């Protein structure tokens, strides 16, 4: 079952984007000065959304060994850092 996730403007309360995901999203990170959004969660899949292209499918990295707990962009958009449960690891 697909569940919509919403991105809201904190100042106006306007809905900016809606994304379909299959499970709980536990972490997200915006790339500074761009329109890229990184998400991860229970599905064990990292997703990269281009907010300038809301109808485009996200890029996916689906080989996480556990449920994703944190995500971060490093070195602009060159490196993604994530941590996961189940093995207590950082990738």
Contact status, residue 13 vs residue 24, Cβ threshold 8 Å:
no
pLDDT band of 23, cuts 50, 70, 90: confident
Average pLDDT, the chain: 85
Closest to 70 measured CA to CA, from 85, 57, 55: 85
> What would the mean pLDDT of 32-60 be, rounded to a whole number?
89
pLDDT higher than threshold 80 for residue 87: no
Domain ranges of the chain: 23-91
- The C-alpha R_g of the chain, in whole angstroms, comes to 13
- Which pLDDT score is estimated for 91? 55
Token duo for residue 10: 């904190």
Token duo for residue 60: 């996916």
């Amino acid at each position: 079952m697909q569940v919509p996730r919403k991105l809201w403007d904190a100042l106006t309360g306007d809905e900016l984007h809606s994304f379909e995901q299959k499970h709980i999203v536990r972490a997200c990170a915006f790339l500074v000065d761009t329109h890229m959004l990184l998400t991860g969660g229970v599905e064990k899949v990292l997703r990269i959304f281009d907010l300038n292209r809301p109808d485009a499918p996200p890029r996916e990295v689906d080989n996480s060994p556990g449920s994703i707990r944190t995500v971060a962009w490093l070195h602009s958009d060159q490196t993604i850092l994530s941590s996961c449960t189940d093995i207590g690891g950082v990738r």
